Amino acid sequence: MTDVMAKPTAGPALVPGSYGAQRYGSDVIVDLLRGSGIPYAALNPGATYRGLHDSMVNYGANRPEMILCTHEEIAVSIAHGYAKVTGKPMAAIVHDVVGLLHAAMTIYYAFIDRVPMILIGATGPLDRTKRRPYIDWIHSALVQGNAVRDYVKWDDQPATIGDFPASFARAYRIATTEPAGPVYLCYDAGLQEDELAAPVDVGAVLKGALPTPVQADPRALERAAEWLAGAERPVIVTEFTARHPSAFYDLVALAEILGAGVVDLNGRLNFPNRHALNVTGGDALATADAGLAVDVGDLYRALNQLDRDSKDRAKRPRTPAGCKVIDIGLSELRSSKWSEDLGQFQPVDLSIVADTSIALPSLNALLRERIRKDDPARAAARDRVAALHQSIRAGWAESAREGWDDAPMTPARLASEVWDVIQREDWVLTANTLEEWTLRLWDMDGPARHPGRSFGTATQIGTSLGVALAYRGTGKLVVDIQPDGDLLYDPGALWTAAHDRLPMLVVMYNNRAYFNDWEHQIRVARQRGTPEANAFLGMDISDPAPDFAMLARSFGWHAEGPIEDPRAVRPALERALRAVKEGRPALVDTIVRKRPLTRFR
């Protein structure tokens, strides 16, 4: 996260009454948004918040700035991507029942990713005498937040305008307190449009101090330091640590003190991929005598391996017997009564509840007291891990050359071609990692390079727009490796990118199939002895093949493709890069081969 992005862009701090005299309930909501430094509000228009819409335009002078979207999924995903970059919430506004239901899936993914977000909805009027016949009735619900209550941190539906400030302040505190997450505020349409008897002061509640981070038990940190200092082959597993950019560098320091290998699960970019201690993709855990999990969401998944081809879904530990496991993070605070995203229970030897942005510096200080810089055992450990790192990278380099001249091209060839064009730019990769080839072949040297892996279909284009919005005006080149199936869910996102001048480079990862699920059908066919050749049914999207370049051009983008010949990719990308530098979004539709079936044998 850059300093530029760390600063609110919504204008000066709130001075009550500086936008004209409050007249309506919805003016109070605008004061709360502006006073909290919310810079943007992504929305698809809805009649239930027409009062708020008018206040944002005419009372707030379009601050927060509206980001008009063609679907609520896109609006929420934009807020998701923005928060991944900045660590701060923006608003996503959705129409009553139907808009909220449209947005539900992307709200769930924001919850899974633990990003702060202010979701604003509307209902009613709850005073039934004020409702329009039919439409206000079918678009109202008894406690509307019930639709998403299981996967937001908190929801509220204040019953009076006077309660708007306290409700909003509590929502903001809950959304931004670690572990962060989305909150949902539902505003009665009638209260939005009601005239005020007197102005409502919002300044007092907004000045309230935010909670401090959760610090670790000092005695537990002492024990962790003793165990790690005594280990000969420690391994660190990390997933969400770099949501605080400073923790990225603290984690590097920790690994270097210990001479420990690091496995990055890419919930964020937590560790430089070319660092000699990065052993992601190897088997370092198999010989570890101590494992340190740092901000790992599903620890069982990290420490156990699934046999994907077994009928009984057999699992085996990645660590040897006797390996001590230390877990530092906020897993115990982020559990949901509904979602099971924490995974199967994983016993550990020491569990430390803490915000790692403050726990890691403390742990590093304790380890420096116990380990000399010139300790020959640590030097030997670093050399051993560095050799594994080089072996892993050599294997990737060899694998990348397989099928190098194939048309359609391999994912590795596409990743290489994109890297050749962007490596001299100040770039950031948004979500998809092209089957992890970008993480293997590009130089991921800092937390700003990649805000973390993608989530499910119908989230990646919207999240990428949110990343681009966060970096708008900074000169960074925002690169989206865009799956074809994902874009087909929300093609209207291309309009938002063009309309809001989000210069981004979209490179289609187009295999003309929902191939992740195709793989599953192949496995099932092999287990059951049914024809593998039939696996394409219900998966293939090549008849007809969508013309993504034509679609993008219809929204005013620079666009080229489809391109199957890998030799034609670089010239197309260079032309697209020039368009982005001129302020236009650009799309290059590249056709990538479906993975060979030998992968599954």
The enclosing domain of 269 has a CATH number of 3.40.50.1220
**Does 355 lie in the same domain as 414?**
no
- By percentage, how much of the chain surpasses pLDDT 70? 95
**Does 418 lie in the same domain as 387?**
no
Residue in 91, 298, 329 with CA at minimum distance from that of residue 213 = 329
**Does 324 lie in the same domain as 416?**
no
Furthest-apart CA pair in the chain: how many Å? 80
Domain assignment present for 388: yes
CA–CA distance, 141 with 502 (Å, rounded to integer) = 36
Residue ranges making up the domain that contains 21? 3-206
**Buried b / exposed e along 572-593 (16+ C-beta atoms within 10 A):** bbeebbebbeeebbbbbbbbbb
pLDDT band at 485 (very low <50, low <70, confident <90, very high): very high
pLDDT of residue 3: 36
Name residue 326's beta-bridge partners.
292, 350
CA–CA distance, 499 with 98 (Å, rounded to integer) = 25
CA–CA distance, 568 with 572 (Å, rounded to integer) = 7
**Buried b / exposed e along 456-482 (16+ C-beta atoms within 10 A):** ebbbbbbbbbbbbbbbbeeebbbbbbb
pLDDT of residue 594: 79
DSSP 60: S
Full DSSP string of 236-285: EEESSGGGSHHHHHHHHHHHHHHT-EEEE--SS--S-TTSTTB-TTS-GG
Name residue 237's beta-bridge partners.
263, 293
pLDDT of residue 595: 66
**Does 166 lie in the same domain as 67?**
yes
Neighbours of 380 (CB within 10 A): 12
Domain assignment present for 372: yes
CA–CA distance, 211 with 333 (Å, rounded to integer) = 15
* Total tally of structural domains belonging to the chain: 3
Q: List pLDDT tens digits, range 46-94.
A: 989 999 999 999 999 999 999 999 999 999 999 999 999 999 999 999 9
* Tokens 């979207």 -> residue: 69
Domain assignment present for 377: yes
pLDDT of residue 428: 98
Domain assignment present for 21: yes
Regarding beta strands 477-483 and 324-329, do their DSSP bridges make them parallel or antiparallel, or are they unpaired?
unpaired
**Does 194 lie in the same domain as 223?**
no
pTM for the structure as a whole: 0.93
Please report how many Cα atoms fall inside a 13 Å half-sphere around the Cα of residue 186, on the Cβ side.
27
Q: 3-state secondary structure string, 474-540? A: CCCEEEEEEEHHHHHHCCCHHHHHHHCCCCEEEEEEECCECHHHHHHHHHHHHHHCCCHHHHHCCCE
Q: List pLDDT tens digits, range 198-241.
A: 999 999 899 887 889 999 999 999 999 999 999 999 999 999 99
Residue in 117, 114, 105, 109 with CA at minimum distance from that of residue 36 = 117
The answer to whether 416 touches 442, Cβ cutoff 8 Å, is no
